[in-house]
Amino acid sequence: MGKVAVGAAVVCAAAVCAAAALVVRHRMKSSGRWARAMAILREFEDKCGTPIGKLRQVADAMTVEMHAGLASEGGSKLKMLISYVDNLPTGDEQGLFYALDLGGTNFRVLRVQLGGKEKRVVKQEFDEVSIPPNLMTGTSEALFDFIAETLAKFVATEGEGFHPAPGRQRELGFTFSFPVWQTSIASGTLIKWTKGFNIEDAVEQDVVGELTKSVEKIGLDMRVTALVNDTIGTLAGGRYHNQDVIAAVILGTGTNAAYVERAHAIPKWHGLLPKSGEMVINMEWGNFRSSHLPLTEYDQALDAESLNPGDQIFEKIISGMYLGDIVRRVLCKMAEEASFFGDVVPPKLKVPFILRTPDMSAMHHDTSSDLRVVGSKLKDILEISNTSLKMRKVVVALCDIVATRAARLSAAGIMGVLKKLGRDTVKEGEKQKSAVALDGGLYEHYTEFRTSMESTLKELLGDEVAEHISVEHSNDGSGIGAALLAASHSQYLEVEES
């Protein structure tokens, strides 16, 4: 063999060795990256752990905070607001009732004709109206004039099947989903605006008084008989269909719970005890916090960067507003520290709230063999293409960790409420049934979340007690529920009873 040939062979061999070394190095590097990504995932899973013992501690802490919040104003992170709702619907209500649902950039007006036990909801109609942006930051008078005019137009379209009682005012249930200091069943002072509203001259005013002024100005003969929030509306709607309903929970963009308390078990209540002996309490449970909640560095960062740091901690780990963003934050760390999506961190991954919970749910429920829904969501929302099946499986696992923690903690919260009411045990020979009404998009549409929450509640209760507790979907508390509360608190009830 000539020198040239030997030289060429040596060069070739060296090139092959170098290429092999590069491949090995690349594989070692990528396996190192993969190991780091898996370590981040495993650490997150550990920190999110909700073993049954921990959930029992969370439920106990919820019960303790409920007692503290009922004992004195400001006695707990739970506000435990007295709602002044002391008559929930029975199913006997009859007549035509209206509801106004104001809680965002749209509002709804609604009417129902109730036909008592036999006929129930005979007929219902509603209309949805967008609030012009200038009215969201204008004056109180301008906003409520606009709402009153919309109500008047809606009343004018009362058609067949709706029968206003002769000589009586039309009665309205007003769902107002902003922070309010309730002063009676039909009055409440606005504490502050949220959700893009900022009408300064309405703050510290009675919102029912403001609406009433506008209604009277245009000669509409209508009276607000109940001021409520959507959670209490859900409780009313649930109770109307099932008299065993004792509590309601909203699991949607936000979260809250309300329940029926014995009036004498509310030390901070100084008024006359209601005839029914009961009072609905609006817990505002999104603000619950406890050292037993499994919080991670991602939750702490989300809270620190939020509009309300230190507040609504429970809401920030269980509600739809935040779950998708927790997933994004973990993926972002994987991208930064383990080059999970390649050498460059995808810019979109750094945008807060770009990954919404409905998209997370779609990825979590992807049953295709190649997880193509996951692939298309990553591509369309985060502009991450060419993801391998292995990577997509990690994303699904991450969605599962975040949704499972939220679902199991929600169940622990419900367990805390049941404990407070003594419904977590079955007494000898007792056949008492209890039902919890649930509503909200997270509960309604995120199947994995709902299934996990319901099975965890059964696990916490134990088989024997679980037979006596049911969870049911109660739809449209903010609409129908408010109309039902207008009916159960009608000014004409005493007239009818006497």
**Nearest to residue 378, comparing CAs of 367, 398, 399, 363?**
363
Q: Are the C-beta atoms of residues 473 and 443 closer than 8 Å to each other?
A: yes
Strand-pair partners of 190: 180
343 a catalytic residue: no
Distance in angstroms (rounded) separating the CA atoms of residues 114 and 487: 9
Q: Are the C-beta atoms of residues 211 and 174 closer than 8 Å to each other?
A: yes
Distance in angstroms (rounded) separating the CA atoms of residues 318 and 453: 11
Q: Are the C-beta atoms of residues 462 and 78 closer than 8 Å to each other?
A: no
Torsion sign, CA atoms 351, 357, 362, 367: positive
Q: Are the C-beta atoms of residues 98 and 170 closer than 8 Å to each other?
A: yes
335-373 burial string, b = 16+ CB within 10 Å, else e?
beebbbbeeebbeebeeeeebbbebbbbbbebeeeebeb
* Beta-carbon contacts of residue 217 (< 8 Å; ≥ 6 apart): 145, 148
Within 10 angstroms of residue 454's Cβ, the number of other Cβ atoms is: 19
From 119, 153, 192, 195, the catalytic residue: 195
* Beta-carbon contacts of residue 377 (< 8 Å; ≥ 6 apart): 359, 362, 363
* Beta-carbon contacts of residue 153 (< 8 Å; ≥ 6 apart): none
For the chain, the straight-line distance linking the first and the last C-alpha, in angstroms and rounded, comes to 121
Q: What is the CA radius of gyration of the chain?
A: 28
Torsion sign, CA atoms 406, 79, 188, 162: positive
Q: Are the C-beta atoms of residues 483 and 111 closer than 8 Å to each other?
A: yes
Backbone angles phi, psi at 206, to 5 degrees: -80, 115
Q: Are the C-beta atoms of residues 318 and 290 closer than 8 Å to each other?
A: no
Q: Are the C-beta atoms of residues 50 and 404 closer than 8 Å to each other?
A: yes
195 a catalytic residue: yes
Burial class (CB in 10 A: 0-12, 13-18, 19+), 117: exposed
Residue linked to tokens 């779609």: 362
From 86, 206, 230, 424, the catalytic residue: 230
Two tokens, residue 409:
């903690």
**Nearest to residue 225, comparing CAs of 242, 241, 246, 211?**
211
Distance in angstroms (rounded) separating the CA atoms of residues 407 and 423: 21
Q: Which residues are tagged catalytic?
A: 195, 230
